[in-house]
């Protein structure tokens, strides 16, 4: 059986804690590898390597750091197939989804190549008599990232690419469920020219996470995962005086107006609701048609599209729309929530409970589900299911539909489908959600804008990637400078007045 390792100071290192986690093949339900779980001693060791490496890395000018990222992008392209194949084998997502996972991370790396421009400070000449003011952005030191299973390539790159571009060292704690791609990324970064110790990977569970949170030399922490864990990491990091950004759960609505192109809306809902088996924080899990006639027509169009979805292993290639969910526990939880939806009065119009895949009976496959007549009090509406389950909540007016999205505790993403510009403009202006789509079901911003939700979907002031990433991974230092024309005796004891 394959045994994974940590990646410390440029070397794959076997774990010393004696604790391991199983890495499953979600398509077969079999254990395919084991991964070591780091302890506090290994965290301390990684931080010490990072501290030493960061001193020299921060002294490298931003343009030369950008050249390393440019080489890293080339290596990502060269290794795309092996990255995607390993990702699919451990996560279960289809190869096109896996390639997209790597590609969206790669785009953030490309943005970070602009570090020389993004790290420039401000300058004011002659702010006062002989006085100049200027600011500079300086790295924090050692940063860490705790990333989820569902995007094992993209989200790590969203974190470590800007951190490294700003001159920090970075310790990545990826999900122990699909560890191979993060390890490959660290090796590729070193091949690109990053010094040993600048990017390290520690596999682990809560023990490792707590050691990271408590370590005094880790200056900032990024996290993506569930809201309860996001709140915990945010609170513990704040206690320790660390800079922190935590991204939690989601329940994304798609409002469908009576004037919308219903074929376009139905296609969008199927792709956004069932792609990657629904294991995306930006997945649409709630369809909100406005008007009973709109709802009837939309559900009528959804059913045959959902019935045609092909579920299978990534090895089936382009013939598969989505693969298994990540674990047996995830599959069981989805089934429990589906049953709860039925018990609470929702109508299951597409029933995937009896789905079986010949030859893969022990895999973690979940058939597609579509609920109708869901209400806001039901568990399947309030809870992030993280599976191929779409709920339809019927509304009688635009205001009622808008209120559903605004009143929900999560505020990650939302979309509206309409042909009316006034309605769309009003929606964009009023809705209290961080990422909004107009006739776009999954409004994930491109790399040069920032990604982040509102309400209980985020804890922290700055978003991921885009300009916010460079603000998060640097401190601003402002300098007031005066060079007097002559040296005078005595000192000054007042703040100079800028007249």
281 is catalytic: yes
CA torsion angle for 394, 400, 405, 409 (degrees, to 10)? -100
Phi and psi torsions of 127, nearest 5°: -65, -25
DSSP string, 227-286: HHHHHHHHHHHHHTT-EEEEE----EEEEE-TTS-HHHHHHHHHHHHHGGGG--TT-EEE
Contacts of 372 (CB under 8 A, 6+ apart): 295, 299, 346, 347, 349, 392, 394
Residue 312: DSSP 8-state: -
Neighbouring-strand partners of residue 143: 170, 220
Residue 471 and residue 388: Cα distance in Å, rounded?
36
Residue 166 and residue 57: Cα distance in Å, rounded?
10
Residue 58 and residue 359: Cα distance in Å, rounded?
53
What is the side-by-side order of every strand in the sheet holding 218-224? Answer: 11-13, 6-8, 199-201, 169-173, 142-146, 218-224, 243-247, 458-459
- The residue with tokens 């750091």 is 65
Catalytic residue among 112, 166, 208, 281: 281
Q: Which of the residues are catalytic?
A: 281
């Amino acid at each position: 059986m394959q045994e994974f390792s940590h990646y410390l100071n440029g070397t794959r290192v076997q774990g010393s804690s004696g604790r391991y986690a199983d890495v499953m093949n979600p398509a077969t339900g079999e254990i395919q590898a084991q991964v070591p779980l780091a302890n506090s001693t290994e965290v301390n060791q990684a931080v010490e390597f990072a501290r030493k490496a960061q001193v020299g890395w921060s002294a490298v000018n931003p343009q030369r750091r950008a050249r390393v990222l440019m080489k890293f992008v080339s290596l990502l392209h060269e290794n795309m197939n092996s990255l995607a194949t390993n990702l699919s084998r451990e996560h279960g997502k289809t190869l096109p989804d896996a390639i997209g996972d790597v590609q969206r991370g790669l785009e953030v790396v490309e943005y970070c190549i602009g570090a020389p421009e993004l790290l420039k400070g401000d300058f004011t000449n002659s702010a006062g008599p002989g006085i100049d003011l200027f600011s500079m952005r300086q790295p924090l030191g050692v940063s860490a990232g705790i990333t989820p299973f569902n995007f094992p390539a993209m989200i790590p790159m969203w974190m470590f690419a800007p951190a490294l571009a700003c001159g920090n060292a970075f310790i990545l704690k990826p999900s122990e469920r699909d560890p191979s791609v993060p390890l490959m990324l660290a090796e590729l970064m070193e091949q690109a020219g990053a010094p040993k110790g600048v990017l390290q990977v520690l596999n682990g569970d809560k023990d490792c996470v707590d050691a990271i949170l408590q370590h005094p030399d880790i200056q900032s922490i990024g996290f993506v995962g569930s809201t309860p864990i996001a709140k915990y990491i945010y609170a513990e990091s704040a206690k320790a005086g660390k800079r922190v950004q935590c991204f939690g759960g989601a329940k994304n609505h798609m409002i469908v107006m009576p004037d919308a192109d219903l074929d376009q809306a139905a296609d969008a809902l199927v792709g956004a609701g069932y792609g990657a088996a629904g294991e995306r924080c930006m997945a649409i899990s709630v369809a909100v048609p406005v008007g009973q006639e709109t709802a009837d027509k939309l559900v009528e169009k959804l059913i045959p599209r959902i019935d045609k979805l092909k579920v299978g292993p990534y090895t089936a290639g382009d013939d598969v729309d989505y693969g298994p969910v990540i674990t047996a526990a995830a599959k069981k939880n989805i089934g429990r929530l589906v049953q709860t939806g039925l018990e609470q009065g929702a109508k299951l119009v597409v029933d995937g409970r009896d789905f079986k895949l010949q030859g893969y009976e022990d895999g973690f496959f979940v058939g597609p589900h579509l609920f109708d007549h869901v209400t806001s009090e039901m568990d399947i509406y309030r809870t992030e299911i993280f599976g191929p389950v779409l709920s339809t909540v019927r509304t009688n007016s635009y205001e009622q539909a808008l209120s559903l999205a605004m009143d929900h505790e999560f505020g990650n993403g939302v979309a509206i489908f309409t042909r009316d510009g006034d309605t769309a403009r009003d929606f964009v202006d009023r809705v209290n959600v961080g990422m909004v789509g107009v006739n776009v079901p999954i409004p994930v911003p491109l790399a040069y804008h920032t990604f982040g939700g509102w309400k209980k979907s985020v804890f922290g002031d700055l978003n991921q990637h885009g300009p916010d990433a460079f603000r998060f991974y640097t401190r601003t230092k402002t300098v007031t400078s005066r060079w007097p024309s002559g040296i005078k005796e005595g000192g000054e004891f007042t703040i100079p007045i800028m007249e």
